[in-house]
């Protein structure tokens, strides 16, 4: 479950202002209205509306950077890749049809761009035997990703996340840092909601092993 502060909840509400509304929260008539507004904003950007394009960049630059930097592990590379994502998105804006949330569409581009970058650099990830992961009791992982004032524990958590594979890093980032729903994560990573839950559960156990050893 998400660990949301009041500040985070308010931030999530503000995220709905520009092209980021959750379609599942809307009625059929409101979905049509939302889609028309989104298409209108896209048309304005394509027509050269710099103010609208600036709002687009402001709205998504940081969230996309957070996802990409977690995957590639280098801030300079992440900054360049964010620019690549915006370029790809701009070129394909006219093809957006509203089948998914606009943010989902962008995150999908960001994820595939980051994955391609890691493949080019042939990054290696730590392998842990499945039995070791499966033997971790569920209660050991319930609060493993919750905020803490323990600096040593936080440092071990960061190191553990760095050792995850690309998909695992994306799962953790989207769910805990970006506070995305299970359904939207599935749309970004092209996984069923059930599969997302299973993989999140397994990833939490893997993080526990990486932080504490096999015990």
Q: What is the DSSP letter of 180?
A: -
Strands (E), 11-117: none
Confidence of residue 191 (pLDDT cuts 50, 70, 90): very high
Enumerate residues 6+ apart whose C-beta is below 8 A from 178.
63, 66, 67
Separation of CA 96 from chain center: 20
Burial of 213: CB neighbours in 10 Å, binned 0-12, 13-18, 19+: exposed
Alpha-carbon dihedral sign for residues 202, 207, 213, 215: negative
Give the count of beta carbons closer than 10 Å to the beta carbon of residue 104.
Answer: 21
CB of 110 within 8 A of CB of 64? yes
**Looking at the domain that runs over 13-123, which CATH code has it been given?**
1.10.1740.10
**Looking at the domain that runs over 124-215, which CATH code has it been given?**
1.10.10.10
| Average pLDDT of the residues of the chain | 79
Which pLDDT score is estimated for 68?
A: 95
Which pLDDT score is estimated for 21?
A: 41
d(CA 153, CA 77): 27
Q: What is the DSSP letter of 94?
A: G
Per-domain residue ranges for the chain? 13-123, 124-215
The secondary structure of 57-90, three-state, reads: HHHHHHHHHHHHHHHHCCHHHHHHHHHHHHHHHH
Confidence of residue 19 (pLDDT cuts 50, 70, 90): very low
The larger pLDDT score, comparing residue 73 to residue 6, is at 73
* Fold equal for 13-123 and 124-215: no
Burial of 5: CB neighbours in 10 Å, binned 0-12, 13-18, 19+: exposed
CB of 30 within 8 A of CB of 113? no
- pLDDT tens digits for 142-174? 888 887 788 888 899 989 999 999 999 999 999
By percentage, how much of the chain surpasses pLDDT 70? 76
CB of 41 within 8 A of CB of 52? yes
Flag the least confident range among 83-87, 106-110, 180-184, 211-215.
211-215
Burial of 207: CB neighbours in 10 Å, binned 0-12, 13-18, 19+: buried
The larger pLDDT score, comparing residue 188 to residue 39, is at 188
The first and second tokens of residue 9, run together, are 């909840």
């Amino acid at each position: 479950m998400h660990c949301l502060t009041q500040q985070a909840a308010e931030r999530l509400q503000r995220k709905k202002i520009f092209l980021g509304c959750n379609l599942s929260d809307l009625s059929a008539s409101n979905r049509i209205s939302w889609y028309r507004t989104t298409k209108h904003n896209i048309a304005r950007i394509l027509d050269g509306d710099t103010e609208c394009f600036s709002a687009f960049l402001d709205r998504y630059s940081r969230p996309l950077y957070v996802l990409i930097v977690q995957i590639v592990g280098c801030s300079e590379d992440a900054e360049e890749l964010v620019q690549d994502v915006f370029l790809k998105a701009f070129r394909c804006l006219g093809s957006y049809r509203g089948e998914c949330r606009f943010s989902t569409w962008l995150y999908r581009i960001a994820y595939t761009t980051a994955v391609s970058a890691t493949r080019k650099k042939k990054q290696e990830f730590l392998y842990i035997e499945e039995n070791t992961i499966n033997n971790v009791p569920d209660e050991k992982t319930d609060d493993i990703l919750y905020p803490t004032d323990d600096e040593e524990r936080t440092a071990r958590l960061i190191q553990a996340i760095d050792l995850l594979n690309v998909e695992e890093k994306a799962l953790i980032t989207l769910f805990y840092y970006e506070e995305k729903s299970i359904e939207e994560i599935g749309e970004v990573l092209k996984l069923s909601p059930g599969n997302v839950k299973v993989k999140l559960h397994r990833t939490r156990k893997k993080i526990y092993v990486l932080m504490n050893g096999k015990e």
